[in-house]
Amino acid sequence: MMKRRLTAFLAGLLLGASVGAHAGPAEDRKALNDYYQQRLPQIKPGDYIYGALALNPDAKDQYDSIMIFPPFVNDVDDGRKIWEKPFANGKLFAGCFPGGGKNVAGDYPYFDNAAGRVATFENAINACLKANNEAEFKYGSREMGLLTSYAKSLSDGMKVNVKVEGPGALAAYEKGKQYYYARRGQLNFSCATCHIDYAGAFIRSEQLSPMIGHAAHWPEFRAGTELFTLQTRFRQCNSQVRAVPLEFNSEEYNNLEYFLTYMSNGLPMQTPVFRK
């Protein structure tokens, strides 16, 4: 029994290594989809957006009930007020985005060739503030989280559509991929250890979710109104494996977000959501 478990574990690591180190973006995504279809055949492709809930019908039913009247509606409304509050010059956030901000969040992150780095949706928010002579929001702050909770909700149902085009974008994607597969911390875990090698398994009482779909629903509210952004979750995961978390908006985290979001291409966005 132990030998079979070890063999399966090593097979998972080898698959992770082959996907993570040698393939291009399209091949990465296809290989992961094929892998999960074999490992977790009970998950329908469109249900990856639900994470571990897709593996637990009872938990998914509870989630659906909560989302009828989500406990964070007042928080999202606070985000709406920030979005709709005019700048000192009379302009609005909506003026910084095509379509007034509707159906745009699924295009983020993207590689900004002029800046030579990945631009996240939060970066676009701060670029809007700067262009209108307003003070930028602190990356990772609750104020930024509330604003993006509402602003991204304007793209609910939009399919994630991140592009990796050109040498700069590909280099950033590869760096994000390398970070995802690199082991770190005292526990010597990578992101892939939990979400590829052990996807569907349990750590204590928590079932580990597959990687695909991870980036389609942030920010999220946990235990009611505790707000988590995607990069907050990156920092939390680093701490849990006893590694030193990086700074919000670091090149490493932005590249990781770029890679991770690309893997959710084609899935519909839903922002924000509830998680326990």
| Residue 222 domain flag | yes
Give 108-147 pLDDT, tens digit per residue: 999 999 999 999 999 999 999 999 999 999 999 999 999 9
User: Are residues 84 and 43 part of one domain?
Assistant: no
pLDDT top residue among 121 and 222: 121
Q: Mean of the pLDDT values across residues 211-218?
A: 96
User: Are residues 80 and 59 part of one domain?
Assistant: no
Domain boundary among 96, 122, 153: 153
Residue 275: its H or E element: strand 273-275
Question: What domain range is 82 assigned to?
Answer: 73-153
Q: Which of 75, 66, 76, 251 is nearest to 176 (CA)?
A: 251
Set 128, 191, 194, 237: catalytic member? 237
User: Are residues 36 and 129 part of one domain?
Assistant: no
What angle do the packed helices 251-262 and 167-181 form, to 10 degrees? 90
Q: What's the one-letter identity of residue 171? A: A
- Pull the structure tokens for residue 88: 């000192």
Domain boundary among 153, 179, 201: 153
| Euclidean distance between CA atoms 117 and 231, whole angstroms | 17
| Residue 159 domain flag | no
Question: Angle at the Cα of 158 (from 167 to 147), degrees rounded to 5?
Answer: 90
User: Are residues 247 and 189 part of one domain?
Assistant: yes
User: Are residues 262 and 173 part of one domain?
Assistant: yes
Per the annotation, the verdict on 128 as an active-site residue is: no
Q: Are 22 and 178 in contact (CB under 8 A)?
A: no
Assign residue 82 the CATH number of its domain: 1.10.760.10
- Residue listed under structure tokens 């700074």: 247
pTM: 0.91
Residues of the chain with pLDDT > 70, as a percent, come to 92
| Euclidean distance between CA atoms 140 and 11, whole angstroms | 37
Q: For the chain, how many structural domains are there in total?
A: 2
User: Are residues 63 and 50 part of one domain?
Assistant: yes
User: Are residues 65 and 191 part of one domain?
Assistant: yes
Q: Is the pLDDT of residue 238 over 90?
A: yes
